[in-house]
């Protein structure tokens, strides 16, 4: 069964794939670079606890389409699992798999649509406030890339797959080995027509999540 799009997408003349991706990546790199410049000071503090080698998080939040993406996707709840490996106390490699339950707003009856995101990125955690206390705060910024897939739940149509990149900012609030993470990611991804033929372009959306963070840190050894 084929679906006829009911809403045409109006593109901004500057909304080309190269322009949007370049603008997003330059902004994210600038933020990441500024935070990375202070990592040596943070690591030199003797009172800072040593970080665990691994962190696991279960996240929940919202996917918010922006720009032309709002014509195609409905805002949706998103759930994700994250696994981080700390290369050093101030630098982590983080893998994320997310699932958003959205709808195709450009098609008749707005059928339900699964939005899957899988990516790998680097986080910089330049400071660790109140590290010697029971409750601590650790801001971070990140940059990564991966894939974005769209798959109808009850419509006989092939899934579409696209490249995606993101910039992230947030903070960890920790109490011993358990903490809460607040994170905002700005995604730039390719977008192929979900049904029928058409030209691919670049799209943008924001993902905001709250996560439980297990084994976030351990006490420093003498």
Whole-angstrom distance, CA of residue 185 vs CA of residue 137? 19
Its domain, for residue 91, covers 17-38+49-192+199-214
The residue assigned the tokens 């910039």 is 167
What's the pLDDT band for 198 if we cut at 50, 70, 90? confident
What local confidence, expressed as pLDDT, does residue 156 receive? 87
Cα–Cα–Cα angle for 103, 7, 107, nearest 5°?
Answer: 40
What local confidence, expressed as pLDDT, does residue 33 receive? 52
Residue 180: is its pLDDT beyond 60?
A: yes
What's the pLDDT band for 222 if we cut at 50, 70, 90? very low
Residue 208: is its pLDDT beyond 60?
A: yes
Residue 12: is its pLDDT beyond 80?
A: no
What's the pLDDT band for 41 if we cut at 50, 70, 90? very low
Kindly state whether residue 4 falls inside one of the protein's structural domains: no
For 190: left if phi > 0, alpha if psi spans -120 to 50, otherwise beta; the answer is beta
* Burial (CB count within 10 angstroms: exposed 0-12, middle 13-18, buried 19+), residue 79: middle
Residue 220: is its pLDDT beyond 90?
A: no
Kindly state whether residue 206 falls inside one of the protein's structural domains: yes
CATH number, position 185: 2.40.160.20
Kindly state whether residue 10 falls inside one of the protein's structural domains: no
Structural domain total, the chain: 1
Residue 182: is its pLDDT beyond 50?
A: yes
Kindly state whether residue 154 falls inside one of the protein's structural domains: yes
Kindly state whether residue 3 falls inside one of the protein's structural domains: no
The separation between CA 214 and the C-alpha centre of its own chain, rounded to angstroms, equals 19
**Out of 25-34, 74-83, 190-199, least confident range:** 25-34
Residue pLDDT, tens place only, 44-56: 443 444 556 888 9
- Write the DSSP string, 45-67: -TTSPPBPSEEEEEEEEEEEEET
Give the residue with greater pLDDT, 100 vs 17: 100
What local confidence, expressed as pLDDT, does residue 51 receive? 54
Measured from the Cβ of residue 130, the count of other Cβ atoms closer than 10 Å reads 13
Proportion of the chain above pLDDT 90, given as a percent = 55
Kindly state whether residue 219 falls inside one of the protein's structural domains: no
Kindly state whether residue 92 falls inside one of the protein's structural domains: yes
Residue pLDDT, tens place only, 142-159: 999 999 999 999 888 899
What local confidence, expressed as pLDDT, does residue 175 receive? 79
Residue pLDDT, tens place only, 79-137: 999 999 999 989 999 999 999 999 999 888 999 999 999 999 999 998 878 767 778 89
Q: Are 60 and 207 within 8 A, CB to CB?
A: no
What local confidence, expressed as pLDDT, does residue 17 receive? 46
What local confidence, expressed as pLDDT, does residue 35 receive? 47
Kindly state whether residue 1 falls inside one of the protein's structural domains: no
Proportion of the chain above pLDDT 70, given as a percent = 72
């Amino acid at each position: 069964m084929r679906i006829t799009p009911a809403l045409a997408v109006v593109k901004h003349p500057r909304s080309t794939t190269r322009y949007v991706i370049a603008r997003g990546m330059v902004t994210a790199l600038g933020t990441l670079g500024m935070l990375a410049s202070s990592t040596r000071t943070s690591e030199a503090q003797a009172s800072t606890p040593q970080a665990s080698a691994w962190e696991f998080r279960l996240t929940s939040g919202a996917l918010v389409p922006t720009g032309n993406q709002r014509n195609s996707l409905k805002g949706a709840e998103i759930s994700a699992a994250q696994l981080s490996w700390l290369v050093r106390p101030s630098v982590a490699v983080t893998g994320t798999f997310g699932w958003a339950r959205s709808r195709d707003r450009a098609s008749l009856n707005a059928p339900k649509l699964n939005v899957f995101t899988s990516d790998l990125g680097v986080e910089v955690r330049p400071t660790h406030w109140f590290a010697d206390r029971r409750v601590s705060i650790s801001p971070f910024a990140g940059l990564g890339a991966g894939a974005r897939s769209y798959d109808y739940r009850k419509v006989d149509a092939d899934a579409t797959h696209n490249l995606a990149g993101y910039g992230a900012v947030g903070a960890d609030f920790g109490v011993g080995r358990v903490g809460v993470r607040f994170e905002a990611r700005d995604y730039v991804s390719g977008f192929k027509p979900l049904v029928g033929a058409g030209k691919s372009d670049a799209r943008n959306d924001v993902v905001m999540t709250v996560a439980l963070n297990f084994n976030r840190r351990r006490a420093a050894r003498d």
